[in-house]
Chains A and B, each alone.
Chain A
Amino acid sequence: MTTENGWRQRYEPVIGLEIHVQLSTRTKMFCGCELSFGEQPNLHTCPICLAHPGSLPVTNEQAVRYALQIALALDCEIAPRSIFHRKNYFYPDNPKAYQISQYDIPLATAGRLGDVRIHRVHLEEDAAKLVHVSASGRIHGSGSSLVDFNRGGTPLVEIVTEPDLDDPATAREWLQLLRTTIKQIGVSDVNMEEGSLRCDANVSLRPVGADALGVKAELKNMNSFRFLERGINAELERQAALLDAEEQVEQETLHFDPRSGELTPLRSKEYAHDYRYFPEPDLVPLAPTEAMLSEARESLPELPASRRERYLAELELADKQATQLAFDADLGAYFEAALAAADGTTPKVIANWVTGELVASLREAKADDADPASSRVSPDALAKLAGMVERKEISTGAARRVLATLVAEGGDPTRIVEREGLGQLDDSGELEAIVARAVESDPEAAARVRDGNMKAIGPLVGFVMRETKGRADGGEVTRLIRERLGLG
């Protein structure tokens, strides 16, 4: 971990993030072409998104609504009248040779999510996708390049944070929180691998205790949470080494290569632009009406931060568990569904089963990142199972076996319990007989327990569990053994 590194005593990281979120609207930002992913190239194009002469952009109202929802979820101030600008630069992924974006008057400013302040939120259009026919996958040195305009014009929301992060791991966690928040609203797939969530980081170091910011580098292309953390770490190391050697950090844009984990500066032609911003004369200002604002506000679902509060206060979940369920959108949705299906089961018991046993057995069954929603275990079944345990209808051990069956084949836990005879042994006569056999079969252990060595009870309990196929309740078994040995 970098926290162990010496430079941490001398320098303090200052990290800000710049996030691009592709909105999952039906159509593109400024034309009627449908959004698509992974389709045949240049299928979803029209005179507008191909920048034919005379074509004009028209703002997608759904994109504005989605962006407003994001801005409100981030607690931003919405500009009563924001405007679009043209950002001019030549590149084949940019057919108009300008991107319609927002500049000095963005859609929203001054927000907050968790501990991080939001500088601004604005709307813009995505570039087309370039495929460079070269080993590096970059335009320089490539023999030819192909352009796919399907992605060109996809609505993007850009979110810029204040430089409030001071640690790569925290940056990663915060980005996950942002992802969950946006996923919860349902306005984007926020998938980093597919590019519907992209994150650049502005990274600098300053002497501990200093107020002034150091020279920052902009890191691009960190297309997973892991890469974001690794990229920032690598850059912090690089800057610390420069500063230790009393060299200057240069303001530059660096490209993160996930394969080598290395950062390479982008050629000046790829980023050194005078964008010649000016107000887009083809569009009228964006002035959200009171009705649009209240509609956006009302359509916001419960967001991670307030969900966490509710889990703590009302459901009395543990802090870590509340955070996990509130900040992991998939798991949270699953938990909510299980809660809804539960019939009087304590929420905490369900939470334990979701965050503990379920996550563990899904991991075991598949790779990591298993999404409970797509598993065979329905929230309904899990709630039922947790209820049976809480009511001591089955033992914890038996419940684990039921869960394994559920993960493998799905189904109804009640049926599985019946079918496999896993019901709790409530006929204490039968259990007492098995306990008696256990004590007889291992007189040595029985003697040690009788002498007060409680650790020796393990083999005896194990015997009972084996005999009962785990149906017996562990506490009850221990009680009966002690009673049998005269320790009751």
Chain B
Amino acid sequence: MASPTTSELLELTAAGALRRIDEGELPADEVFDAYAEVAAAEELNAYLWRAEPGTRPTPPSADESEQLRGLPVAVKDLFCTEGIKTTAGSRILEGYRPPYTATAVRRLSQAGARVLGKTNMDEFAMGSSNENSAYGPVLNPWDRARVPGGSSGGSAAAVAGRLAPWAIGTDTGGSIRQPASLCGIVGLKPTYGAISRYGMVAFASSLDQCGPLTRDVTDAALLLRAMEGRDPLDSTSVGIDGGVELPSREDLGGLRVGVARDFSHHAEGVEPGVAETFERSLATIEQLGGSIEEIELPHAEHGISAYYVLAPAEASANLARYDGVRYGLRVDGVADLVAMYERTRARGFGLEVKRRIMLGTYALSSGYYEAYYGSAQKVRTLIARDFERAFERCDLVVTPTSPSVAFELGARTADPLAMYLSDYFTVPMSLAGIPAISIPAGLAEPPGGGTPLPVGLQLAAPAFAESRLLDAAHALELAIDFQERPA
């Protein structure tokens, strides 16, 4: 077979590109160069930093374990990369060049991948539309008047817009799965503890988890396999026992798939197109030999409320280190230390970040702690128990990933609550710490009509059952056969 043209090359999955490289049909460096070219010329505002075309980073070593063959990977700007500016989408980290590299990125490099660019994101991963970036919103490649979702919106848009073969992001309450859904790609949030958080700028430490955003399920498995594992630098990391097998399953015979009607139907504003696509996915599951089990997740609907206490509480402490003393932005010329703190943080943080710092500070304050933080922790425990009970009756749980397709830029910026509800279906899995994946399930018209847009299906599995999750997602992916591309 002849070597592919550039546009063919950009359509390849990472696994597809690797196969051709291995078969000698595609020089490995060509893939990196091609993506460096398109990334340099991109118009989605997906990248905050790009490798210069022609200045390919050298692969770390040439040993045979280097299974990723110098392929480019886009990295959310929340991961520290030594010597490469890392902003977390915030003005307060403008000009900051970390002295070290995040474990997840280091592992990818060790596996032979090369950092193609750092992707745009909601400031400190706080947002569901990427409109909270201090460096401007990312545009959805399916419709540039719409948001790509968030907070890993730059990574999702880059993969969907053929500006990167694959990318990594982070998910605290849906920040990988929701943008993957809105951009028509695959997004996996692994079990909490599967991948090291070392070097990932913290938003909410007990929820943050790194994961892949890819064109298909196999690519997600490849990235997960390269990144997972216990890291002595992260006490909460454990890795995945037994590692990650590449998915091969083509049916769902014998699998019990749980649907929590109550939870799904309590969601306000599930768009009709999303609901229809979801029902179609359930039918596909049955056609593949899976059985649909009615289950209950009685506390899941309170997930958003608990999440918006716990995540801001942790964030209020995690973001306190940005004080202008050691790195990043500092507003000088003020009367004293406290004024320097105040002015630096006032100028450095955006509106949503400030809102969450206030929420979190309040929730932890003396006299309110039990009522807010304490209650939210109890809800979290109840939700985790809901899933444990559900998994006694089923092997997987499915929900829509997002109640809506990609919405228009600016549509929800004035209504934080509406924005927070974007994560209604994804937050409970984050609170329970279990793995969940979003795969494209089809296209649906937005409520007001217009070009059909991607709809995601979310599958969740018990903790560390990533192989089961990926296998089922693989079988569904084959059956759904989502071939649509952004124009």
Contacts and interface: CB of A to CB of B under 8 A. Distances in A.
Interface of A: 47, 50-59, 86, 88, 90, 92, 95-98, 139, 145, 147, 269, 274, 276-278, 281-284
Contacts of B234: 56, 58, 282
A92 B337 contact: yes
Nearest to A96: B321
B100 A47 contact: yes
B180 interface: no
Contact of A88 (B78, B235, B320, B341): B320
Interface size class of B (residues with CB under 8 A): 35 or more
A274 B365 contact: yes
B267 interface: no
B308 to A, nearest CB: 16
A274 B364 CA distance: 9
A141 B285 CA distance: 71
A54 B199 contact: yes
A56 B337 contact: no
Contact of A53 (B80, B232, B338, B365): B80
Given A51-B326, A95-B326, A56 B233 contact: yes
Contact of B198 (A54, A86, A145): A54
Nearest to A282: B205
10 contacts: A52-B326, A53-B201, A54-B79, A56-B234, A97-B321, A276-B365, A278-B313, A278-B317, A281-B204, A283-B236
A49 to B, nearest CB: 11
Contacts of A50: 326
A54 B320 contact: no
Contacts of B102: 54
A283 B197 CA distance: 12
A198 to B, nearest CB: 24
B323 interface: yes
A92 B344 CA distance: 14
B327 interface: yes
A90 B323 contact: yes
Interface in B141-200: 197-200
Contacts of A92: 323, 325, 337
B131 interface: no
B364 A282 contact: no
B235 A139 contact: no
B326 A90 contact: no
A92 B326 CA distance: 9
A47 B317 contact: no
> What 7 A-B pairs have minimum CB-CB distances, sorted nearest first?
A97-B320, A281-B206, A276-B364, A281-B205, A53-B201, A54-B199, A51-B321
A85 B262 CA distance: 37
A99 to B, nearest CB: 11
A283 B235 contact: yes
Given A59-B235, A97-B321, A278 B364 contact: yes
B242 interface: no
Given A145-B337, A284-B235, 7 more contacts: A52-B99, A56-B197, A97-B317, A97-B323, A98-B320, A276-B316, A283-B235
Contacts of A59: 235
Contacts of A56: 197-198, 233-235
Given A90-B323, A282-B236, A276 B80 contact: no
Contacts, number: 104
Contact of B361 (A47, A54, A276): A276
Contact of B327 (A52, A57, A58, A147): A52
Interface in B193-235: 197-202, 204-206, 232-235
Main secondary structure of the interface of A (DSSP, over half): loop
B236 A86 contact: no
Contacts of B365: 274, 276
A57 B206 CA distance: 14
B449 to A, nearest CB: 43
Nearest to A50: B326
A95 B321 contact: yes
A280 B198 CA distance: 15
Contact of B96 (A53, A58, A269): A53
B391 interface: no
Nearest to A269: B338
Contact of B341 (A90, A139, A276): A90
Given A51-B321, A53-B96, A284-B236, A88 B364 contact: yes
Nearest to B92: A53
Q: Among A51, A86, A277, A282, which residue has the most Cβ atoms of chain B within 10 A?
A: A282
Nearest to A139: B337
Interface in B263-319: 313-314, 316-317
A95 B80 CA distance: 18
Interface string B2-42: 00000000000000000000000000000000000000000
B110 interface: no
Contact of B80 (A52, A86, A97): A52
A278 B337 CA distance: 26
B93 interface: yes
A59 B327 CA distance: 25
A109 B373 CA distance: 26
Q: Among A51, A97, A145, A147, which residue has the most Cβ atoms of chain B within 10 A?
A: A97
Interface in B65-92: 78-80, 86, 88
B432 to A, nearest CB: 15
A97 B317 CA distance: 7
A309 to B, nearest CB: 42
B55 interface: no
A147 B326 CA distance: 10
Nearest to B204: A281
B366 interface: yes
Given A274-B365, A278-B364, A281-B206, A90 B100 contact: no
A149 B230 CA distance: 29
A53 B98 contact: yes
B80 A54 contact: yes
A95 B318 CA distance: 11
A281 B369 CA distance: 16
A63 to B, nearest CB: 14
A51 B321 CA distance: 7
A375 B206 CA distance: 56
A407 to B, nearest CB: 52
Contacts of B361: 276
